[in-house]
Structure 1
Amino acid sequence: MKFALQLGYWGAQPPTNHADLVVAADKAGFDTVFTAEAWGSDAFTPLAWFGSLTENIRLSTAVVQLSARTPTATAMSAMTLDHLSGGRFCLGLGVSGPQVVEGWYGQPFAKPLARTREYIDIIRKVLRREAPVTSEGPAYQLPYQGPDASGFGKPLKSIVHPLREDVPIWLGAEGPKNVALAAEIADGWLGFLASPHTAHEFNSWLDEGFARPGARRTREDFEVAFLCQLHITDDRAAVLDAYRPMTALYAGGMGAEEKNFHAEAFRRMGFSDDVDRITELFRAGRKDEAAAAVPDEMIEATAIIGDEPEVREQIAEWEAAGITMLVVTARTVEQIEQIGRLID
């Protein structure tokens, strides 16, 4: 089992200890560090900073939102960071949701699967650098040919030669169609609010993608990275209580009430009635009650909590489910070192 550190996105102010955490994770043998973005800090810039402080750990976004940048702009960032890091960069992509895509980026959310396929295809064309890049669309036209086009656009090939033509691309996905698409066209799946308890379900989605004509990978060389709240502790109850507010936010407060992909993920795990109640309370502004309504089992579905022998036993269960990388969070260097002792 590989381990990765998820730093997430910034809150109201920049975190003060993320560099220390990344350096500690590099020394402890973590495979990857992930950065995120929502509608504040971006995912690429911190990786450039952390890359200058580390030697071995891979640097990845989890995730870059497609609508934030054109595919060629994302490819430029990927090439740049891959060169600066000596080939340690990986690109984690995701479509986000309509609230962010249309509300923050001012872009249409329609047809996310088709847009994802087209987006990745253009990035790979840029990285291969075989010919000037063209795309007929419909989401991304290269050159642009809309009614207001100048007519002077022409296909271009990157000035920079990529360090690697095959930078790994991982796709953040929650629903069955997105997961199958990841298995078909990407190098890995970034699972969020996913649980080994539903392995039969998500493995069937992956198998569907692997079986498609022209699939890029097989299960043997495909990364399955799951975000996991891992805590080595003797006070299980305190850890569960600490995660209730965040679980309530994702289950009941993210996105629009009619379109919350995270809520659907919890429903697929068997928590439909709990999601309904949490959503009702959260949307009514009763956030403390919403958090209190989160059952232990809902948190435990995507977490590993216990003393060290119990944690090792649970890690083996996640590995048996087909998960190749545990993506964990940590607040202190001591927590990083404690998790590092689990790395064989």
Structure 2
Amino acid sequence: MRLSVSVGLWQDRPATEAVRTAQIADQHGYPEVWVGEMATYDAFALATAIGMRTRRIALTVGPLPVTVRDPMTIARGVASVADLTGRPVGVALGTSSPVVVEEWHGRSRAGCGTALRETVQALRPLLDGERSDFSGTRVASRGYRLRLDAPRSEISVAAFGPAAVGAAALADRMVLNLLTPASAARLITDLRLLTSGTRVVAWVAAAVDPDQAAIEQIRGALVSYLYAPGYGEMFARSGFEDVVAFARTRPHPRDLLAAIPDAMLEAVALIGDSVEIMDRLDAYEEAGVDEVAIVPVSTDADPCGEATLKALAE
């Protein structure tokens, strides 16, 4: 199975660790680093900084929310990173959360599934250097052509529901985030009914031989997902109905954090010694996943997830 790396962007860690995590991934021979976007760096700026501070690792920017970023600005951003760094640069698309889209950006997520599909359709010719000529229900771009060299990027789509899986069928890769192997298998089955050509990547948080701080880091990351549509149902199917029911009472985050058992973390993350983690990787591979993008947990004991990345590279 192919292993790549996603910079963690952990909320309680220094933002600059993202660059260092990418440097460690580069040093240990990982082929690609995924550069997401949260509340700190602009993803294109961060990808450029990583490209200038590493030697050979390929870059994928995103997922970028399609109801915030339009095809022209995405294509120009990807081409900019590729030109400034000299690296292969891919792009990942998604619909993001209501908090990010509606509250942070003040945009509507209405029709986001349609926007996702249409952005893939509009973006592909732009990344290949063609003049834009697309008019859809939610997305349009006409008359723009890259002045920089065409990056001819791979397009990845973050998917969870049926509309996103349909959009992923038009892309090069489908990205699954924080899913159990069983849930990944269900989505991959849906994808294979549409296409056999789209590869599947699972983003999975990882900590080899974790201390308690690493466990708590992952536990904290699960809190917001318990409120997200579909994720509660996934965890309920995995045997955590009581935790999901408690989350739906909207308790204080501190109380919900305390209610999340270690077994829930183990269901969606790579935690344990090297043998245990290899078993988990095998489970994702058996589910149909082609690649795992490791999201290394960063703590004071293992800054930037260096020990985890080193152990998994070996």
Q: Which residue is equivalent to 1:229? A: 205
List per-residue Cα deviations over 1:102-142 (Å, max 9, x = no partner): 22323221222211121122211212334x32222322334
Map 1:140-289 to 2 at 5 A.
140-143=139-142, 155-162=143-150, 164-165=151-152, 167-182=153-168, 184-210=169-195, 218-219=196-197, 222-233=198-209, 239-252=214-227, 260-267=229-236, 269-280=238-249, 283-285=250-252, 287-289=253-255
Alignment partners' CA distance in 1, 2:266 and 2:162: 22
List per-residue Cα deviations over 1:260-307 (Å, max 9, x = no partner): 454344345453442121232xx342x222112112332111112222
Map 1:258-337 to 2 at 5 A.
260-267=229-236, 269-280=238-249, 283-285=250-252, 287-327=253-293, 328-331=295-298, 332=302, 335-337=305-307
Query: Conserved in 1, the CA contact under 8 Å of 2:9 and 2:15?
Result: no
**Structure 1 position 241, deviation (Å):** 4.5
> Pairwise CA RMSD of aligned residues?
2.7
Q: Which residue is equivalent to 1:215? A: none
Alignment partners' CA distance in 2, 1:17 and 1:240: 19
**Structure 1 position 4, deviation (Å):** 2.4
Change (3 A) 1:242 1:71: closer
**Structure 1 position 68, deviation (Å):** 2.3
**Structure 1 position 207, deviation (Å):** 1.0
Q: Which residue is equivalent to 2:309? A: 339
Q: Which residue is equivalent to 2:122? A: 122
Q: Which residue is equivalent to 1:60? A: 60
Q: Which residue is equivalent to 2:103? A: 103
TM-score by length of 2: 0.86
Q: Which residue is equivalent to 1:138? A: 137
Query: Conserved in 2, the CA contact under 8 Å of 1:43 and 1:63?
Result: no
Q: Which residue is equivalent to 1:41? A: 41
Change (3 A) 1:297 1:179: farther
Alignment partners' CA distance in 2, 1:234 and 1:317: 20
1:118 is paired with a residue whose SS is: helix
**Structure 1 position 202, deviation (Å):** 2.0
Change (3 A) 1:196 1:73: same
Instruction: Tell which structure's C-alpha radius of gyration is larger.
Output: 1
For 1:305, the aligned partner's letter is I
Alignment partners' CA distance in 2, 1:201 and 1:290: 28
Change (3 A) 1:271 1:19: same
**Structure 1 position 192, deviation (Å):** 0.9
Identity of aligned residues (%): 26
**Structure 1 position 204, deviation (Å):** 1.3
Alignment partners' CA distance in 1, 2:39 and 2:273: 37
